[in-house]
Every structure is written in structure tokens, then in C-alpha cells.
Amino acid sequence: MSSKSKDPIKLFTMKIPQSKLEKYKYFAKYYDLPLSQLIQKLLEQQPLPKRVRQKPTPKVDPELIRQLSAIGNNLNQVSRRVNQGDKIDVISHLVAIENQLEQLLNAHQIH
């Protein structure tokens, strides 16, 4: 059996201004790395990961999604009819859709 000796891990402490620490933490979070790993990679000139943390998907009221989907369907129907050459009053349909969107925005605004 070959015995590979591991390099012992040591705690390293450094003093930096709070503002710089916050900046370093931001970059670590951006690259989805612990701060210590980020600093090690930078000091050893290793490439940083290309994949960055994705913003979490916000929780949205399912009713809002349903209403937005219905408005999108209305818009698709209007554009389909226009593309087929149907003579419809596009402006009045678009104004109705705009009104629906405005009502939806007002109903879901955070105060």
C-alpha cells in the first residue's frame, strides 16, 4: 500500500478593511465559491469557474401566471389573424390587451 501524505490544512488569518471584505465576499458569491477558495484560485492564478450562481426564481402567484398566459394567448390570436389577412381592428384589440396588462399590474403592485 502506498501511503500518500496529505498536506496539513492550516488556518490563515488576515486583516483587511471591512469594505474590501464585503467586495471579496461579493465576488466569492458571484462565482459560487467559498471566499477561501476564491482567494486561493486567484493567488495560484487558476481559472475561475465560468458558471456563476443563478438568481433564484422568484415565487409568483399562480393566478398571476394564469392571467399573463391568457393575455399572451390573446396577443397571439390577434397576430395570427393579422398574419392570415383577416381584417380586424388591431388597434382596439391591442388597447384591450394593454388595459388588461395595466389592471394586472395594479392588482399585483407591492406598496
Residue by residue, pLDDT tens for the chain (111 residues) are 445 568 898 888 889 888 889 889 988 888 888 999 999 999 999 998 886 666 666 777 888 888 999 999 989 998 888 888 888 888 888 889 999 998 988 888 776
Q: Is the pTM of this model over 0.75?
A: no
Say if residue 34 is in the same domain as residue 50.
yes
* Residues 68 and 49 both lie in one domain: no
Domain with 31, as residue range(s), is 17-54
Instruction: Give the burial class of 81: count Cβ atoms within 10 A of its Cβ; 0-12 exposed, 13-18 middle, 19 or more buried.
Output: middle
Q: Say if residue 69 is in the same domain as residue 101.
A: yes
Residue 4 lies in a domain: no
Is residue 69 domain-resident?
yes
At residue 31, the pLDDT reads 85
In a domain, 100, yes or no: yes
pLDDT number for residue 87: 80
H helical segments located in the chain:
18-30, 35-43, 62-83, 90-107
Residues 93 and 66 in one domain: yes
User: Are 49 and 68 part of one and the same domain?
Assistant: no
In a domain, 70, yes or no: yes
pLDDT given for residue 55 in this prediction: 65
CA atoms within 13 A on the CB side of 73: 6
- Asked if residue 6 belongs to a domain, the reply is no
27 domain-assigned: yes
Domain count across the chain: 2
